[in-house]
Amino acid sequence: MKKVRIGIIGIGNMGSSYVRELSKGSVPNAELRAVCDINPERLEWAKDTLGEKVSLYDNPDKFFSEADIDAVIVATPHYDHPPLAVKGFEKGLHVLIDKPAGVYTKQVREMNRVAEKSGKVFGIMYNQRTNPLYQKLRDLIKSGELGELRRTNWIITNWYRPQSYYDSGGWRATWAGEGGGVLLNQDPHQLDLWQWTCGMPKRVMAFMYFGKYHNIEVEDDVTAFVEYENGATGVFVTSTADAPGTNRFEVTGDRGKIVIEDDKLTFWRLRVSERQFNREYTGGFGQPECWKCEIPISGENTQHIGIITNWVDSILHGTKLLAPGTEGINGLEISNAMHLSAWTGKWADIPVDEDLYYELLQERIKNSTFKKNTTVSRTLDVSGTH
């Protein structure tokens, strides 16, 4: 295989951007061969944009059975990522799904099982993993430079959305249409980066407001507290109603503190660990000597194109994936645990109680204002719900 022949299913907001990039050759050794969407307007756009060189499909089954492709990018709303990915694996295709991995871990776990059995290359669009800031943070933590994890705090409230955004589609911000609010729509990247850099917490207590600032069913304001296995704690604050918002990620270890804010990483580094200072210092008031270090960051933040290129290179050359699709379950597990805690008013352990989460989610879907008809009719009409 000299080039990977790619099909895209769902050419709404995000899918159309992938169409444009692939069609102009932004991804080496990749060729766009087919797109699928049931919305005639989107197919007309694809025809005008791509001409006759790309096959167009208005039916996913026909797309999977007839398209001359080696790999598929799934760029549809949340609920349909796992079933469409599974169809791709069953057809012998490599698969890249948009975020999130799905709505509930029970479904995503089955997708992962099929993916691993298929032997195909499975990626997820966690494009923030290409950001050198977070790569450096992960390196400083994993290498032990920051010491043992003590505390994590992420305030991510620069997701402001007016009511008109939610009114733009009947499925938006509904339990039946999206399966969640700010956690599932805007925050999957941050939840992934949180666990990618700091590891998975062991339990969660979340306080969540549903339609507090907007006329919606799902959460638009969240504060969650987590505990890690070693006793460290963390807080995650998010909302779509703060104007102006904040994006500040702070991680404290026993050898200092790292802050990422305004596209800059700053490391307050202790000369000796806090634990050593605590044991040895005898002067009463005092604290370890601390240096404020501006950490140099090198490398390009290649975003979506970087993830697709890495996926294609993995298909052709076995290159290690930066964002393996099977890891999509991790951030979703935290999200599900937050919802479960808010719904029950109790701590939610991780791994999450998948059966209880699914049961409580179904109750909300049953009473949702959006009445889901068929998976396909909604799936391919709109995508990329950021």
pLDDT at 386 over 50: no
What's the mean pLDDT in 167-183? 93
CA dihedral 334, 208, 221, 158 (to 10 degrees): -20
Is residue 380 in some structural domain? no
* Residue of 270, 248, 294 lying closest to 152 (CA atoms): 248
* One domain for residues 25 and 68: yes
Query: What order do you get walking across the sheet with 219-227 strand by strand?
Result: 290-294, 264-270, 256-261, 247-253, 149-156, 233-239, 219-227, 203-210, 348-349
Q: How big is the chain, counted in residues?
A: 386
pLDDT at 364 over 70: yes
The predicted pLDDT at position 171 comes to: 87
Degrees to nearest 5, angle at CA 75 with 5 and 168:
145
Q: Using pLDDT thresholds of 50, 70 and 90, give the confidence band for residue 160.
A: very high
* One domain for residues 345 and 358: yes
pLDDT at 280 over 50: yes
Q: Using pLDDT thresholds of 50, 70 and 90, give the confidence band for residue 1.
A: low
Is residue 375 in some structural domain? no
What's the mean pLDDT in 270-277? 97
* One domain for residues 87 and 151: no
Phi, psi for 149 (deg, rounded to 5)? -60, 135
What's the mean pLDDT in 32-36? 98
The predicted pLDDT at position 385 comes to: 42
* One domain for residues 123 and 139: no
Positive or negative, the Cα torsion across 69, 4, 121, 354?
negative
Phi, psi for 34 (deg, rounded to 5)? -160, 150
Q: Which two tokens stand for residue 50?
A: 């791509």
Q: Using pLDDT thresholds of 50, 70 and 90, give the confidence band for residue 376.
A: very low
Helices and strands in the chain, H and E counts? 14, 15
Is residue 226 in some structural domain? yes
Secondary structure of 1-45 in HEC code, one letter for each residue = CCCEEEEEECCCHHHHHHHHHHHCCCCCCEEEEEEECCCHHHHHH
Q: Using pLDDT thresholds of 50, 70 and 90, give the confidence band for residue 169.
A: confident
C-alpha–C-alpha distance, residues 93 and 95, integer Å:
6
pLDDT at 378 over 90: no
Q: Using pLDDT thresholds of 50, 70 and 90, give the confidence band for residue 281.
A: very high
Tell me the per-residue pLDDT of 58-112, one tens digit each, with 9 for 90 and over.
Answer: 999 999 999 999 999 999 989 999 999 999 999 999 999 999 999 999 999 999 9
Is residue 202 in some structural domain? yes
How much of the chain is in helix, strand and coil states, percent to nearest 5? 40, 25, 40
What's the mean pLDDT in 377-382? 38
Q: Which two tokens stand for residue 233?
A: 């704690």
* One domain for residues 188 and 74: no
* One domain for residues 315 and 348: no
Is residue 78 in some structural domain? yes
pLDDT at 132 over 90: yes
* One domain for residues 157 and 115: no
Q: What is the CATH number of the domain that holds 57?
A: 3.40.50.720
* One domain for residues 157 and 249: yes
Strand partners, 8: 35, 73
Question: Are 196 and 322 in contact, with CB atoms under 8 Å apart?
Answer: no
Tell me the per-residue pLDDT of 291-341, one tens digit each, with 9 for 90 and over.
Answer: 999 899 999 999 999 999 999 999 999 999 999 999 999 999 999 999 999
C-alpha–C-alpha distance, residues 245 and 237, integer Å:
11
pLDDT > 90: what percent of the chain? 92
Over the chain, what is the mean pLDDT?
Answer: 95
* One domain for residues 181 and 268: yes
* One domain for residues 82 and 157: no
Q: What is the CATH number of the domain that holds 173?
A: 3.30.360.10
What's the structural domain count of the chain? 2
Q: Using pLDDT thresholds of 50, 70 and 90, give the confidence band for residue 375.
A: very low
DSSP category for residue 281: -
Residue listed under structure tokens 């994936």: 321
The predicted pLDDT at position 372 comes to: 59
> What is the number of other CB atoms lying within 10 angstroms of the CB of residue 91?
16
Domain containing 308 equals: 4-128+303-326
Task: Name residues whose C-beta falls within 8 Å of residue 245's C-beta, 6 or more positions apart in sequence.
Answer: 156, 157, 158, 159, 160, 239
Q: Using pLDDT thresholds of 50, 70 and 90, give the confidence band for residue 374.
A: very low
3-state secondary structure at position 129: helix
* Residue of 65, 62, 64, 43 lying closest to 54 (CA atoms): 43
The predicted pLDDT at position 151 comes to: 98
Tell me the per-residue pLDDT of 204-253, one tens digit each, with 9 for 90 and over.
Answer: 999 999 999 999 999 999 999 999 999 999 999 999 999 999 999 999 99
- Chain centroid to CA 349: 21
* One domain for residues 185 and 261: yes
Q: Using pLDDT thresholds of 50, 70 and 90, give the confidence band for residue 371.
A: confident
pLDDT > 70: what percent of the chain? 96
Strands (E), 86-215: 94-97, 122-124, 149-156, 203-210
C-alpha–C-alpha distance, residues 193 and 187, integer Å:
10
